[in-house]
Amino acid sequence: MSDFWKEKNVVVTGGAGFLGSYVVERLKERDPASIFVPRSKDYDLRSREAILDMLRAAKPHLIIHLAGVVGGIGANRERPAEFFYDNLIMGVQLIHEAWAYGVEKFVIIGTVCSYPKFTPVPFKEEDLWDGYPEETNAPYGLAKKMLLVQSQAYRDQYGFNSIFLMPVNLYGPGDNFDPETSHVIPALIRKCVEAREKGEKNIVVWGDGTPTREFLFVDDAAEGILLATEKYNRSDPVNLGSGFEISIRELVNLIARLTGFEGEIVFDTSKPNGQPRRALNTTKAEREFGFRAWTGFEEGLRKTIDWYLQHHNLRAAKM
């Protein structure tokens, strides 16, 4: 293990969430002096006073900022103002107060949603400013993108060491399966499992099935974030992805097969597709800090489905 973490106090905002829980577990293996996970009930990070209280309590050398308001296309369409304001105000104030406090390094987790709607595939970091994001998640993507601007500005003026990572859509055990706020993989897993159990003849999927997506297994993402924290020290953005692109049509067919759903898949073309294609160039992450995803997509899906079935069956047994 790297000596980088020795005697470091580390704050992981969002450390109790989906990605955060994996980052915290991998961080424990590196044995820093302390790991502090601020809970929203104790520290509302949209409040400057709460941020100052958190800094005084944790005395961090490093902050890994994972906290955010996130969701799928439906949630982004219904709550665009909330997605913009909460993500922006939380990040802007936290970065500023961390700099003022003297934090040694700040890791910002951005989003692939910051890329322009029609970015050439695979997305290269240099393409980030070549157009406006896809409309359904633009408020979220732009709020996160402003944290990149802040990172670069604070490095230029103050020498503040912050980095900006852009993971693709994450998935894995422990994901959010709430039908109102979940992303595409957990939403499709739940639909297929419930339809199979109820004997339903079809499931309905938003869009026409042609958009493509890239997905990164959450444990791989956690390791990538910690490698970047150890080894990367510039404010130029870096993609985190798997290098594997799949269409929504192929994805739903694969999930149907893995969950045992044999009914018809109906595509509701009155609903938005989202970004037409999404796949990343991941060479920079490998070059700069040695990250390459190792979990195969079908393997990751099986683990996610198994986790959901186990917890779904536990809930059903308690009812």
pLDDT digits (tens, 9 = 90+) for 308-319: 999 976 565 554
pLDDT at 183: 85
Q: What does the pLDDT average to over 96-113?
A: 97
Considering only residues 274 and 295, tell me which one the structure prediction assigns the higher pLDDT. Answer: 295
The average pLDDT across 250-254 equals 97
Which of 63-77, 134-148, 260-274 shows the lowest per-residue confidence on average (mean pLDDT)?
63-77
CA–CA gap between residue 29 and residue 6 (Å, rounded): 12
The answer to whether residue 247 scores a pLDDT higher than 90 is yes
List 140, 154, 171, 308, catalytic entry: 140
Lowest mean pLDDT among 61-65, 75-79, 261-265, 284-288: 75-79
pLDDT at 74: 76
Inter-residue contact 278 to 211 (CB < 8 Å): yes
- Tell me which of 293 and 180 has the higher pLDDT: 293
**According to the model, what pLDDT value does residue 273 have?**
87
Tell me what pLDDT residue 319 has: 43
At residue 179 the predicted structure's pLDDT band, cuts being 50, 70 and 90, is confident
Q: Is 154 a catalytic residue?
A: no
pTM given for the model: 0.93
User: Does 200 score more than 50 pLDDT?
Assistant: yes
Do residues 127 and 67 lie in contact, with contact meaning Cβ atoms separated by under 8 Å?
A: no
State yes or no: pLDDT of 13 exceeds 70. yes
- For the cut 80, the answer to whether the pLDDT of residue 71 exceeds it is no
- Residue 141 in this model has a pLDDT that exceeds 70: yes
pLDDT higher than threshold 60 for residue 112: yes
Both tokens assigned to 313? 């069956």
| pLDDT at site 318 | 52
Task: Supply the pLDDT for residue 316.
Answer: 52
pLDDT above 70 for 207: yes
* Domains along the chain with CATH numbers: 3-171+215-243+278-295 (3.40.50.720)
| pLDDT attached to residue 313 | 67
**Integer Cα distance of 6 and 203 in angstroms:** 51
Q: Which of 143, 213, 221, 225 is nearest to 175 (CA)?
A: 221
Please name every residue paired with 9 in a beta bridge, in sequence order, or none if there are none.
34
Nearest to 243 by CA among 273, 275, 284: 284
Decide if pLDDT at 68 tops 70. yes
Percent of the chain whose predicted confidence (pLDDT) is above 90: 86
Mean pLDDT, all residues of the chain: 94
Is 103 or 113 the better-scoring residue by pLDDT?
103
Q: At 75, which helix (H) or strand (E)? A: helix 73-78
Other C-beta atoms within 10 Å of 254: how many?
A: 15
> What pLDDT does residue 315 have?
61
Q: Is the pLDDT score of 257 beyond 60? A: yes
